[in-house]
Amino acid sequence: MRELAGKRAVVTGGSRGIGAAIVRQFLDAGAEVLTTARSKTSTVPEGAAFVAADVRTRAGAEAVAEAAREALGGVDILVNNAGGARPFQHAWDIPDEEWQDQLDLNYLASVRLDALLTPGMRERRSGAVVHVSTAAVPTSAPPFLHYTAAKAALQNYSRGLALELAPFGVRVNAVSPGRTATPGGEATREQWASLAEGPGQDNTAPPLGRDGRPEDIADAVLFLVSDRASWLTGRNLTVDGGEFPVG
């Protein structure tokens, strides 16, 4: 079922993991897709347009917006997926520059791209935005406090933006993945395991008995941007196999 036929989508962080799975889902559903990462790799899904850009910066966001106008002619769907973190033993170990990097990557990148790409949606009185957050926000786990704090801000902002854009027919939702089997996630868990002290990893499988697959998250994103979710906005959909408490 090509339920996104005729739609034009931008997906950030689409060169691997969850982002690449979202791009593949959108292409299979009939959308034109532009994706972005800091550099192109062989794992960028075939059929997607690509622009190399660092969305942590204003210049990078502007480069994505310009590429979208040139490659797609406009944007109907925006998925702010780029994100990530490295763990620290304690909150007081996190330097200022790391806090700023986390805010730029996991929060302000979405704010900037939304500001650049949603005006066209408002004019057409149609569109869908999805912010990829994390199911770990309610835990505020110390090794990733900077990351979960930035994602908590993203969730709060997502709700507020949804209320502002709803009168224009533009829907805004968030998806919060739990532990998902991706190259980036595995690298982060290895960094966590290498910490000399501090809280250890919980390697217990989620209640559903396995880690998530990138396609599990992509399925949720596809649903939220499709007409099947036409009466959903301002919501945060947790996709974690029951791993985290709802908060």
Residue 3's Cβ-count burial label (10 Å; 0-12, 13-18, 19+) is middle
CA dist 39 and 43 (Å) reads 11
Can you tell me the distance from the alpha carbon of 85 to that of 148, in angstroms, rounded to the nearest whole number?
9
Q: Is 157 a catalytic residue?
A: no
Residues with Cβ < 8 Å from 240, sequence gap 6 or more?
Answer: 135, 176, 177, 178, 179, 206, 212
Calpha distance 37→14 (Å, rounded): 7
Q: How far apart are CA 115 and CA 111, in angstroms?
A: 6
Closest CA to 110 of 76, 168, 171, 153: 153
Q: Which amino acid is at 245?
A: P
Q: How many CA atoms lie within 13 A of 95 on its CB side?
A: 4
| Spatial strand order in the sheet of 49-52 | 49-52, 32-37, 8-12, 77-80, 127-132, 170-177, 236-239
What residues have CB less than 8 Å from 67, skipping those under 6 apart? 34, 36, 49, 51, 53
Q: Which of 107, 147, 157, 244 is catalytic?
A: 147
Q: Which residues are catalytic?
A: 147
